[in-house]
Amino acid sequence: MASTAVDKFLQAIESAAIPGCDAWSADATLDATVPNWRMHKAGADAIRAEYSRWFADPAQFDELHRFPVAGVGELIEYTLSWQENGVPHAAHHMHLLTVRDDRIVNDTVLCGGRWPAKLLAEMEAADA
């Protein structure tokens, strides 16, 4: 079975292989809302450069939900975990991906931030 652009993106996140990922169209755009900031990037190279920083370490999806959006592409929501300099981290993201000709042409992402182990423990304790 051939991988779709969204499959390629998700595989690149897990394997920390964003620099070699060809999921985006040359003129793709990124609209990212992160804690206390919003940024825009234009072009596949700029998106790869940004996401190479976000997804620099091999990771695993603890939760992954994919919802097709007719005429647009796909909505994906996930929690991701990884080790960064020996410290466990996690994040929660939601992407609305516009896909044309099996390339991502727009990614609107909401990111809850990068949570190191200490903060994850605090969140878990607060939920108890």
Q: Is the pLDDT of residue 1 over 50?
A: no
- For a pLDDT cut of 70, what percent of the chain falls above it? 98
- The yes or no reply on domain 5-127 and CATH 3.10.450.50 is yes
Separation between Cα atoms, residue 126 and residue 118, nearest integer Å:
13
What's this model's pTM, rounded to 2 decimal places? 0.92
Partnered with residue 97 across adjacent β-strands are 74, 107
CA 109 vs CA 16, 83, 85, 93, 102: distances in Å? 18, 22, 25, 7, 19
Which pLDDT does position 27 carry in this prediction?
Answer: 98
Which pLDDT does position 3 carry in this prediction?
Answer: 75
E strands along the chain, which residues? 24-34, 37-42, 59-69, 73-84, 87-100, 103-111, 115-116
Domain boundaries in the chain?
5-127
69: which 2 tokens?
A: 């959006």
Which pLDDT does position 108 carry in this prediction?
Answer: 98
What single DSSP character describes residue 70?
Answer: T
Q: Is the pLDDT of residue 11 over 80?
A: yes
The CA-to-CA distance between both ends of the chain, in Å, stands at 43
Q: Is the pLDDT of residue 24 over 50?
A: yes
Which pLDDT does position 2 carry in this prediction?
Answer: 54
**pLDDT tens per residue, range 63-105:** 999 999 999 999 999 999 999 999 999 999 999 999 999 999 9
